[in-house]
Amino acid sequence: MQNTQTTPRIYVACLAAYNNGHLHGVWIDANQDAQAIHDQIKDMLALSPVGGAEEWAIHDYEGFCGLKLAEYESMEIVAGVAAMLERHGEAWAKFAEYEGIEYATKEHFEEAYEGEWDSEEDFAENLASETMEIPKHLEFYIDYEKLARDLFINDYFSAEGEGRKVYVFRRL
C-alpha cells in the first residue's frame, strides 16, 4: 500500500520509557516552529510512565519526500525542512538531496530552480526557443537530445520526481 501522508510529521519517543520496555511517544506535525515542537516533546515526556524522563529521539517520520532525518535531528532543522516542503514540495526535496539539507536554503533553491519538465530534452527545447531565434526552416535540424546532454554536463542537473516528471536546476 502506498503512503498517502503528505504532511511532514515525526514520531518522538521517550527514551526512558523505551529503555524500560514501554512504548511511549507521540506523532508531531513538523510544519510548525521549532519551539512548538519542543513544547509537544516536553508534554510527552511529562506523561511518561517512567518518572523524570528527559531524553527523547525521533523513531519514525513521514511526509518528508524521501529525505532522511537523524534520530537526534535538531527541531530547527525538522521545522525548516517541513516549511520548505510545504512551500516548494518535492522539487525542494530533490534539490536538498543533491545539495544537502544545510545548503538547500530558500534563496539557493529559488536561484537554481528552473522548473518541472517532462524530460531534459523538453527543457533544452524550451531553453533554446526562449534564448535563441531559430529560423523556421532550421527548427527540425536541432537535436535537442544532444543539446540536453551538453547542457546537463556542466550547467544544469535534474532529478526525477513522482509521475515521471523531471525537476531541473541550474548549477550555481
For the chain, the domain total comes to 2
Per-residue pLDDT reduced to its tens digit, 99-135: 999 899 999 999 999 999 999 999 999 999 999 998 8
Strands 166-170 and 156-160: antiparallel
User: Are 73 and 18 in a shared domain?
Assistant: yes
The pTM is what?
A: 0.83
State the chain's mean pLDDT as an integer. 94
Mean pLDDT of the region 44-62: 97
User: Are 68 and 136 in a shared domain?
Assistant: no
Residue 97 located in a structural domain: no
Which residue segment(s) compose the domain that 159 sits in?
Answer: 111-170
The answer, yes or no, to whether residue 3 has pLDDT greater than 70, is: no
CATH of the domain at 134: 1.10.10
CA distance 131 to 86: 32
Stretch (H or E) spanning 100: none
